[in-house]
């Protein structure tokens, strides 16, 4: 089982860079990069809410579940 992070796809759809997102939601670029690459082990709901608020999307637009996938 694996959680799939589709933050990169949503950023591309919205025409927003990782740097713009970082500055707008006050999350370090390093932490967003870890999340974007799927290497994050956890995410706070407040962080997810801030990202979704800025990108005008739902958590399911950013995160997915693959029951056949392997965790890193």
pTM of this prediction?
Answer: 0.88
DSSP string, the chain: -EEEE-HHHHHHHHT--HHHHHHHHT--HHHHHHHHTT--S---HHHHHHHHHHHT--HHHHEEEETT----
Average pLDDT score over residue span 14-22:
96
Domains along the chain with CATH numbers:
2-66 (1.10.260.40)
Q: Which residue has the higher pLDDT, 64 or 69?
A: 64
pLDDT at 72: 56
């Amino acid at each position: 089982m694996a959680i799939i992070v589709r933050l990169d796809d949503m950023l591309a759809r919205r025409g927003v860079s990782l740097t713009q997102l970082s500055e707008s939601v006050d999350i370090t670029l390093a932490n967003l990069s870890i999340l974007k690459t799927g290497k994050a082990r956890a995410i706070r709901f407040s962080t997810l809410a801030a990202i979704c608020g800025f990108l005008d999307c739902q958590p399911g637009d950013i995160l997915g579940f693959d029951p056949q996938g392997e965790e890193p």
